[in-house]
Chains A and B, each alone.
Chain A
Amino acid sequence: MSRKIAVDPVTRIEGHLRIEAQVENGRIVNAWSSSTAFRGIETILKGRDPRDAHHFTQRFCGVCTTVHSMASIRAVEDALGIQVPDNARLIRNLIMAIQNVQDHVIHFYHLHALDWVDITSALRADPQKTAQLAQSVSNWPLSSAPYFKGIQERVGAFVGTGRLGPFANAYWGHSAYRLPPEANLMAVAHYLEALEWQKDVIKIHAILGSKNPHPQTFLVGGMSIPVDPDSQNALNADKLALIGSLLKKARLFVEQVYIPDLLAIASFYKDWAGIGGGVGNFLSYGDFPMRSGSRSDDLYFPRGRIEGNDLSRVLPVDESEITEEVTNSWYRYSDGGNQGKHPYQGETEPFYTGPKPPYDFLETEQKYSWVKSPRYQNQPMEVGPLARVLVAYASGHKDATAIVNHVLKTLGVGPEALFSTLGRTAARGVDCLMLAQKAEFWLQELTDNMGRGVLEVHNRERWDPSSWPREARGFGYHEAPRGALGHWIRIEDGAIANYQAVVPSTWNAGPRDARGQMGPYEAALIGTPVADEEQPLEILRTIHSFDPCLACAVHVLDGRGHEIIKVRAL
Chain B
Amino acid sequence: MQNPTPEMHDGAVSEELLLRWEARGLERRTFLKFCSAITATLALPMTMMGRIAEAIEGDQRPPVIWVEFQGCTGDSEAFLRANQPTAAEIILDYLSIDYHETIMAAAGHQAEAAKHHTLSQYQGQYIAVVEGSIPTAADGAYCTIAGRSAVDIAREVCGQAAATIAVGSCSSYGGIPAAAPNPTGAASVAEVVPGATVINLPGCPLNADNLTATIVHYLTFNRLPATDAFGRPKFAYGKRIHDNCERRSHFDAGQYAEGFGDPGHRQGWCLYKLGCKGPETFHNCPTVRYNEGSSWPIQAGHGCIGCSQPFFWDTMTPFYGRLPTVPGFGVESTADKIGLGLTAATGVAFAAHAVASSFRKGDKLEADQVVKED
Tell me the A residues contacting B by CB distance below 8 Å. 6-16, 36-41, 43-44, 48-49, 51-52, 55-56, 59-63, 65, 106, 110-111, 114, 119, 150, 153-154, 157-158, 161, 163, 165-172, 192, 195-196, 198-199, 202-203, 205-214, 216-217, 219, 222-228, 231-234, 330, 350, 352, 354, 356-360, 455-458, 460, 463, 535-536, 540, 551, 561, 564, 567, 569
Within the complex, the shortest CB–CB distance from A412 to chain B, in Å, comes to 30
**Which residue of the partner chain A has the closest CB to B304?**
A216
Select the stretch in B34-42, B46-54, B103-111, B334-342 that faces chain A: B103-111
Known: A169-B114, A206-B294. A48 touches B317 (CB 8 A): yes
Q: Does B313 contact A (CB under 8 A)?
A: yes
The answer on a CB contact under 8 Å between B77 and A63 is yes
CA distance A233 to B88 in the complex (A): 33
The answer on a CB contact under 8 Å between A195 and B80 is yes
The answer on a CB contact under 8 Å between B80 and A207 is no
Q: Does B300 contact A (CB under 8 A)?
A: yes
Query: Which residues of chain A come closer than 8 Å to B180, judged between CB atoms?
Result: 44
Query: Which residues of chain A come closer than 8 Å to B221, judged between CB atoms?
Result: none
Known: A210-B300, A456-B261. A49 touches B183 (CB 8 A): no
The answer on a CB contact under 8 Å between B261 and A458 is yes
Query: Which residues of chain A come closer than 8 Å to B326, judged between CB atoms?
Result: none
With beta carbons under 8 angstroms apart, the residue of B71, B80, B152 that contacts A551 is B71
CA distance A496 to B261 in the complex (A): 26
Q: Mark B79-113, 1 if CB is under 8 A from A, else 0.
A: 01111001110011001111111111111101111
20 contacts between A and B (CB under 8 A): A8-B108, A8-B147, A9-B108, A11-B111, A36-B143, A37-B69, A62-B78, A169-B106, A170-B110, A195-B87, A207-B300, A213-B205, A216-B297, A225-B302, A226-B301, A232-B268, A234-B301, A358-B152, A460-B259, A564-B183
Known: A199-B291, A354-B141. A231 touches B297 (CB 8 A): no
Kindly list the 7 A-B residue pairs having the minimum CB-CB distance in the complex, ordered from nearest. Answer: A62-B74, A233-B268, A40-B183, A210-B300, A170-B105, A206-B294, A211-B290
Residue from A51, A199, A205, A561 whose CB has the most chain B CB atoms within 10 Å: A199
The answer on a CB contact under 8 Å between B294 and A217 is no
Known: A52-B317, A163-B61, A214-B205. A357 touches B297 (CB 8 A): no
With beta carbons under 8 angstroms apart, the residue of B59, B74, B104, B179 that contacts A214 is B74
The answer on a CB contact under 8 Å between A11 and B268 is no
Interface residues in B, total, Cβ within 8 A: 100
Query: Which residues of chain B come closer than 8 Å to A213, judged between CB atoms?
Result: 74, 77-78, 81, 205
CA distance A161 to B24 in the complex (A): 11
CA distance A217 to B300 in the complex (A): 7
The answer on a CB contact under 8 Å between B297 and A211 is yes
Query: Which residues of chain A come closer than 8 Å to B302, judged between CB atoms?
Result: 210, 216-217, 219, 224-225
The answer on a CB contact under 8 Å between A62 and B177 is no
Q: Does B318 contact A (CB under 8 A)?
A: yes
Within the complex, the shortest CB–CB distance from A256 to chain B, in Å, comes to 20
The answer on a CB contact under 8 Å between A203 and B292 is yes
Query: Which residues of chain A come closer than 8 Å to B99, judged between CB atoms?
Result: 166
Residue from B176, B204, B260 whose CB has the most chain A CB atoms within 10 Å: B260
Known: A192-B88, A213-B74. A157 touches B24 (CB 8 A): yes
Query: Which residues of chain B come closer than 8 Å to A154, judged between CB atoms?
Result: 24-25, 92
Q: Does B328 contact A (CB under 8 A)?
A: no
CA distance A458 to B262 in the complex (A): 9
The answer on a CB contact under 8 Å between A228 and B97 is no
The answer on a CB contact under 8 Å between B107 and A7 is yes
The answer on a CB contact under 8 Å between B141 and A567 is yes
CA distance A225 to B75 in the complex (A): 24
Within the complex, the shortest CB–CB distance from B361 to chain A, in Å, comes to 15
The answer on a CB contact under 8 Å between A210 and B86 is no
**Which residue of the partner chain A has the closest CB to B183?**
A40
Please give 18 more A-B residue pairs, beta carbons under 8 A apart, in addition to A15-B73, A44-B181, A358-B149: A9-B146, A14-B73, A36-B144, A38-B135, A38-B143, A38-B184, A39-B176, A44-B180, A65-B74, A154-B25, A198-B81, A202-B291, A211-B291, A213-B205, A226-B266, A233-B301, A455-B261, A567-B139
Q: Mark B118-156, 1 if CB is under 8 A from A, else 0.
A: 000000000000000001011111111111111010000
With beta carbons under 8 angstroms apart, the residue of B70, B95, B183, B204 that contacts A44 is B183
The answer on a CB contact under 8 Å between A16 and B204 is no
CA distance A231 to B326 in the complex (A): 32
The answer on a CB contact under 8 Å between A233 and B267 is yes
Q: Does B218 contact A (CB under 8 A)?
A: no
The answer on a CB contact under 8 Å between B81 and A224 is no
The answer on a CB contact under 8 Å between B146 and A535 is no
CA distance A43 to B71 in the complex (A): 17
Tell me the B residues contacting A by CB distance below 8 Å. 24-25, 59, 61, 63, 69-78, 80-83, 86-88, 91-92, 95-108, 110-114, 117, 135, 137-150, 152, 175-177, 179-184, 186, 204-205, 259-261, 265-268, 274, 289-292, 294-302, 305, 313, 317-321
Query: Which residues of chain A come closer than 8 Å to B317, judged between CB atoms?
Result: 48-49, 52
Within the complex, the shortest CB–CB distance from B106 to chain A, in Å, comes to 4
**Which residue of the partner chain A has the closest CB to B88?**
A195
With beta carbons under 8 angstroms apart, the residue of A196, A205, A358 that contacts B88 is A196
**Which residue of the partner chain A has the closest CB to B59?**
A161
The answer on a CB contact under 8 Å between B71 and A62 is yes
**Which residue of the partner chain B has the closest CB to A557?**
B183
Query: Which residues of chain B come closer than 8 Å to A227, judged between CB atoms?
Result: 261, 266
The answer on a CB contact under 8 Å between B301 and A10 is no
The answer on a CB contact under 8 Å between A11 and B186 is no
The answer on a CB contact under 8 Å between A36 and B145 is yes
Query: Which residues of chain A come closer than 8 Å to B297, judged between CB atoms?
Result: 210-211, 216-217
The answer on a CB contact under 8 Å between B24 and A209 is no
The answer on a CB contact under 8 Å between B107 and A9 is yes
The answer on a CB contact under 8 Å between A457 and B143 is no
The answer on a CB contact under 8 Å between A150 and B102 is no
Within the complex, the shortest CB–CB distance from B145 to chain A, in Å, comes to 5
**Which residue of the partner chain B has the closest CB to A234?**
B266
Query: Which residues of chain B come closer than 8 Å to A460, judged between CB atoms?
Result: 259-260
CA distance A517 to B54 in the complex (A): 60
**Which residue of the partner chain A has the closest CB to B145?**
A9
Within the complex, the shortest CB–CB distance from A72 to chain B, in Å, comes to 13
Query: Which residues of chain B come closer than 8 Å to A59, judged between CB atoms?
Result: 72, 74, 175-176, 204
Within the complex, the shortest CB–CB distance from B16 to chain A, in Å, comes to 18
The answer on a CB contact under 8 Å between A206 and B290 is yes
The answer on a CB contact under 8 Å between B139 and A357 is yes
Known: A12-B103, A458-B261. A199 touches B83 (CB 8 A): yes
The answer on a CB contact under 8 Å between A168 and B86 is no
Query: Which residues of chain B come closer than 8 Å to A11, judged between CB atoms?
Result: 101-102, 104-108, 111
The answer on a CB contact under 8 Å between B80 and A37 is no
CA distance A210 to B138 in the complex (A): 38
Query: Which residues of chain A come closer than 8 Å to B142, judged between CB atoms?
Result: 37-39, 350, 352
CA distance A345 to B148 in the complex (A): 34
Query: Which residues of chain B come closer than 8 Å to A352, judged between CB atoms?
Result: 138, 141-142
CA distance A51 to B24 in the complex (A): 51
The answer on a CB contact under 8 Å between B72 and A551 is yes
CA distance A231 to B261 in the complex (A): 12
CA distance A192 to B91 in the complex (A): 11
With beta carbons under 8 angstroms apart, the residue of B97, B146, B260 that contacts A165 is B97
The answer on a CB contact under 8 Å between A199 and B97 is no
With beta carbons under 8 angstroms apart, the residue of A52, A359, A457 that contacts B319 is A52
Known: A48-B318, A49-B320, A171-B110. A12 touches B102 (CB 8 A): yes
**Which residue of the partner chain A has the closest CB to B208?**
A199
CA distance A352 to B294 in the complex (A): 45
The answer on a CB contact under 8 Å between A212 and B72 is no
The answer on a CB contact under 8 Å between A153 and B294 is no
Within the complex, the shortest CB–CB distance from A227 to chain B, in Å, comes to 8
Query: Which residues of chain A come closer than 8 Å to B274, judged between CB atoms?
Result: 224
Query: Which residues of chain A come closer than 8 Å to B184, judged between CB atoms?
Result: 38-40, 564
The answer on a CB contact under 8 Å between B102 and A169 is no
Within the complex, the shortest CB–CB distance from B13 to chain A, in Å, comes to 21
The answer on a CB contact under 8 Å between B183 and A359 is no
**Which residue of the partner chain B has the closest CB to A353?**
B141
